Amino acid sequence: MLLVKAYFDESQNQHVPQSYLTRGAMRKPQEVPARIPPLLAAMQGLSVEIDTPRDHGMNPISAVHDMGYLRFLESAHRRWPEDWGAEVMSNIYVREGNPMRGILAETAYYIADGSSPIGPHTWTAAYTSAQCALSAADDIAAGQQAAYAICRPPGHHARPDAAGGFCFLNNAAIAADYLRKTYNKVAVLDPDMHHGQGIQEIFWDRDDVMYISIHGDPTNFYPVVSGYEEERGSGKGYGFNLNFPMPHGSSEDFFFEKVEEALTAIRLFEADVIVLALGFDTYFQDPQAKVAVTSEGFERMGRLLAYTGKPVCVIQEGGYDVDHLEINATHFFKGLLGK
Ligand SMILES: [Zn+2]
């Protein structure tokens, strides 16, 4: 397989979260700009050109997100009183029965958890990150075998109308929906450590986009309330949503059993193209890891994807062990590109 281009723009790194509230404690943010240089270095090491994304405007974004939510994301930081905290965040979470009066009520509705604060540049960064996904999708639509969107902030936890899990716009879902203009059947494979509840929700009742997620058992693990096997989609989308939760402490071999099952489902679906929501947070030393994937494991995953013979639009999701992102990304792409 040939990878011609990866997409990234420096403005994505102006999103610098200061807060991360999880499991009863304020912790150091993990989804930080330092994640990017190792990913760029991996591309340089493989002689892949890094380009800035083309602007596709709002239409492909509003195709999967609620317009009220998008207006909130774009305006929230400007509307946030200066004598409050530096970031838009809430300690109040109410959706049912929320009259949506005032920025604090909107924040209580549109931000789902304590890991997705909005700073002054978050909208621009998230918008540009989505444009990277769309630019990679363009390359796949034009007949390239592989393309890589270095999306930061990541996207798979972003629901149609809510931010969460470090995510604001659902880059993989935006790319998958956009690829439907060119292809009849799109599979989204999500082997990130966490269940991508945003992608699941967006394609829940659709049979033209299959969503398959391999992730840590969500019992007491983000996103906690979704990602269980019995969630299979609804209406004509029933059976087109597949969840493979893994017990915490699972081995690399167990992870690959699930990857093989996922790839079999993609073959049976006869997907024309794969959107890969790629997380490196399954790496055994990652602070989020509940399984033990090695650097060589990422190479194996890349090879398995190449064997499908289908074009692969790679969208960056998680991966927080900054010291090993370069080696893990290098291994994955060596496997995918057959180097
Ligand atoms: Zn993750």
- Counted residue by residue, the chain has a size of 339
Q: What is the pTM of this model?
A: 0.98
Question: What is the number of domains present in the chain?
Answer: 1
Write down the residue that tokens 């991360």 correspond to.
Answer: 20
Confidence of residue 332 (pLDDT cuts 50, 70, 90): very high
Residue 147 · residue 136 · CB < 8 Å: yes
Cα 161 to ligand 1 centroid, rounded to whole Å: 20
Which own/partner contact pairs does 234-241 have at CB distance under 8 Å and 24+ positions apart?
Answer: 234/204, 234/205, 235/205, 236/205, 236/206, 236/207, 237/203, 237/204, 237/205, 237/206, 237/207, 240/203, 240/206, 240/207, 240/209, 240/210, 240/211, 240/269, 241/200, 241/203, 241/204, 241/210, 241/211
Has residue 4 got a pLDDT over 90?
no
Q: Round the average pLDDT of the chain to a whole number and report it.
A: 97
Structure tokens given for 304: 């398995």
Q: Which helix (H) or strand (E) holds 188?
A: strand 186-190
- Residues β-bridged to residue 172: none
Residue 306 confidence (pLDDT): 97
- Report the C-alpha gap between 87 and 92 in whole angstroms: 15
Query: The domain that contains 333 carries what CATH number?
Result: 3.40.800.20
For residue 66, count other CB atoms closer than 10 A to its CB.
14
For ligand 1, the distance from its centroid to the CA atom of residue 171, given in whole angstroms, is 14
Encode pLDDT of 234-286 as tens digits: 999 999 999 999 999 999 999 999 999 999 999 999 999 999 999 999 999 99
Instruction: Report pLDDT for 139.
Output: 98
Structural domain harbouring 49: 3-337
Catalytic residue among 15, 77, 157, 331: 157
Contacts for 219 with CB less than 8 Å, ≥ 6 apart = none
121 tagged catalytic = no
Cα dihedral sign for 102, 104, 108, 111?
A: positive
Write out pLDDT tens, residues 100-122.
Answer: 999 999 999 999 999 999 999 99
Residue 284 Cα to ligand 1 midpoint, Å, equals: 13
- Are 274 and 311 within 8 A, CB to CB? yes
